[in-house]
Amino acid sequence: MDFAHSLAAISAEELISGAGLVLLLVAAWGGDKAARAISVAALVVLVAAAALAVPALAGGVGGKAAFVFDGQLRVDAFASFAKLLIYLGAGVTLIVAPSFFERFNALRAEFPLLVLFAALGMGIMVSAGDLLTLYIGLELNSLASYVLAAMLRSDGRSAEAGLKYFVLGSLASGILLYGVSLTYGFTGTTSFEGIRTALSAGPLSIGATFGMVFVFAGLAFKISAAPFHMWTPDVYEGSPTPVTTFFATAPKAAALALLMRVSLDAFGAHVSAWNQIVIFASLFSIIIGALGAITQNNIKRLLAYSSINNVGFMLIGLAAGTPAGASAMLVYLAIYVVTSVAGFAAVLLLRDENGDPIEAISDMAGLSRTRPGLAAALAIVMFSLAGIPPLFGFWGKFVVFQAAVQAHLVLLAAVGIAASVIGAFYYLKVVKVLYFDEPADKVRGNGDFANTVLLALASIAISPLGYLGTKWLGGLAGNAAAALFHVV
């Protein structure tokens, strides 16, 4: 594909880049007083970028997957599917953030710009066709995320979260780069297509195996899979809640999509070589997430361990190594992103009479009697995360277990089902506090209209009404997964 066609194929990234630079100048001259206007403009940019990404859901440029800039980027249905989830998470963050930061007099003009450039990096990540492009997109997202975690300067927890994220993230980047260098050294290329061709020529060498292991270890940190999960609870708790919402949605979707791209595209010729790594990370994440959440009394830390647990279930779909498994993983990911939006929109509405956020689960006691609508929404989120029918979260677990059984990973599916029963305990504990404990009567603050609307829409999407979209969602996910296996 020539240069002109390559430019046309990445119109969404060009729009975000150009708009980000223009808004950066606006922020420089307008200062923090222009923060709300910049947030609105950034949201419009993300909506427009999503509109530009939609046509590629049909299969890429003109309905066919395309390599652009000599294979550095890949425009296909998979990248488009992931970008829509990324833009959704980033857009929700821009909607809920201004009112939150204004209560602390901490709304900065750079906040929407950081979200915008992080979204740009994530878009490059999921479209990467080369290890170097992968790293550029990953670091663009990561550098913005480190600053976002420490955005609330008046809160010591936020500074601590930013520092921990930066130190551990830098370590993970080093591990990933070491894996990239080993992979390049033993295959002679950084192109995903070239790596796949080189590795398919014969058995996997020891050096290439070590390279693959280090790449997987670096990416495991980014998706917060155990045993590389240690940063997640502290960063989720310490970061401002809108930023935590962002971390739980957009970067999570981007990192999981990137892991799928690397596993099934670059290392797709040797599924059996990385399959055991993914199975171990899957089971360990499910167990660590479930056990770690049981003792938590902070709702944000509980949702952090929940994210580790849910990543484990998603990895079951990847472990299958089949188009059905990849499709199931994308379905689960889409449902999880919407559920996370609902969960953190509810958390943002938990305020005391002074407008300060409430995070302790014990302070939500008896919420069903004082704020029945908010309690019902939180209960829907908890039941959906637990995978209890008829909530839509059940469908995500069902499709990944089905894909595992079809791939003859019956034992993995059985252990996953058993672990999901154990994990349901801490979700039900929250529901029990909401509905059966004596009212603590601490949640008294009025919620923002935008948060309330987001919570209502997301709760409806993960309610039993969500099953009306299973065929549509399954079709999009199937088309996206097929692109990874070069079927389309």
The per-residue DSSP string of 455-484 comes to HHHHHHHHSGGGGGGHHHHHHHHHHHHHHH
434 in Cβ contact with 378 (< 8 Å)? yes
CB 221 within 8 A of CB 327: no
Q: DSSP strand E in 246-316: where?
A: none
Element (H, E) at 444: none
Instruction: Select from 112, 165, 164, 113 the least CA-distant residue to 142.
Output: 165
pTM score, two decimals? 0.94
**Does residue 142 surpass a pLDDT of 50?**
yes
d(CA 34, CA 37): 5
| Cα–Cα dist 70/85, whole Å | 26
- How far is the C-alpha of 455 from the C-alpha of 457, rounded, in Å? 6
Whether residue 290 contacts residue 419, with contact meaning beta carbons closer than 8 Å, is answered with yes
Q: Each residue of 146-173: pLDDT tens digit?
A: 999 998 877 888 889 999 999 999 999 9
The total number of residues written for the chain in this structure: 488
Per the DSSP assignment, residues forming a β-bridge with 75 are 66
For 339-387, how does the pLDDT look when each residue is reduced to its tens digit (9 = 90+)? 999 999 999 998 887 778 888 898 898 888 888 899 999 999 999 999 9
> Of 335, 324, 316, which is closest to residue 391 (Cα–Cα)?
335
Best CA proximity match to 447, nearest among 369, 361, 377: 377
* 402 Cβ contact list (under 8 Å, min separation 6): 324, 328
**Chain segment 94-122, per-residue pLDDT in tens:** 999 988 888 888 888 999 999 999 999 99
pLDDT band at 450 (very low <50, low <70, confident <90, very high): confident
With a pLDDT cut of 70, the percent of the chain lying above it is: 97
**Region 211-218 average pLDDT:** 92
Whole-number average pLDDT of the chain: 89
**What's the pLDDT band for 1 if we cut at 50, 70, 90?**
low
CA distance 138 to 103: 32
Compute, in degrees rounded to 10, the torsion defined by CA atoms 183, 322, 136, 215. -40
What is the arithmetic mean of pLDDT over 426-453?
85
Q: What is the pLDDT of residue 319?
A: 93
How much is the pLDDT for 63?
A: 47
Query: pLDDT class for 487, splitting at 50, 70, 90?
Result: very low
* Confidence grade of residue 143 (pLDDT, cut at 50, 70, 90): very high
d(CA 395, CA 469): 11
Instruction: Please report how the helices 110-127 and 131-149 are oriented relative to each other, as an axis angle in degrees rounded to 10.
Output: 160
Q: pLDDT for 232-241, tens place per residue?
A: 999 999 999 9
- Angle, to 10 degrees, between the axis of helix 410-436 and the axis of helix 271-294? 20
Q: Could you give the CA distance from residue 291 to residue 188 in angstroms, rounded to a whole number? A: 43
Choice between 201 and 279, residue whose per-residue pLDDT is larger? 279
Q: What is the pLDDT of residue 54?
A: 87
What's the CA gap between 112 and 43, in Å, rounded?
Answer: 8
Q: 64 — phi, psi (to 5°)?
A: -125, 140
Q: Is the dihedral of CA 105, 111, 115, 118 positive or negative?
A: negative
The CA distance from 138 to 14, in Å, is 17
The fraction of the chain above a pLDDT of 90, given in percent, is 59
pLDDT bucket at 64, cuts 50 / 70 / 90: low
Q: What pLDDT, on the 0 to 100 scale, is given for residue 310?
A: 94
pLDDT band of residue 295 (cuts 50, 70, 90) is confident
Predicted confidence (pLDDT) per residue in 248-293, tens digit: 999 999 999 999 999 998 887 788 888 889 999 999 999 999 888 8
- Is the pLDDT at 488 greater than 50? The verdict is no
Residue 314 has pLDDT above 70, yes or no: yes
Q: Is the pLDDT of residue 486 over 70?
A: no
Mean pLDDT value across residues 382-399: 92
Classified as helix, coil or strand, 135 is: helix
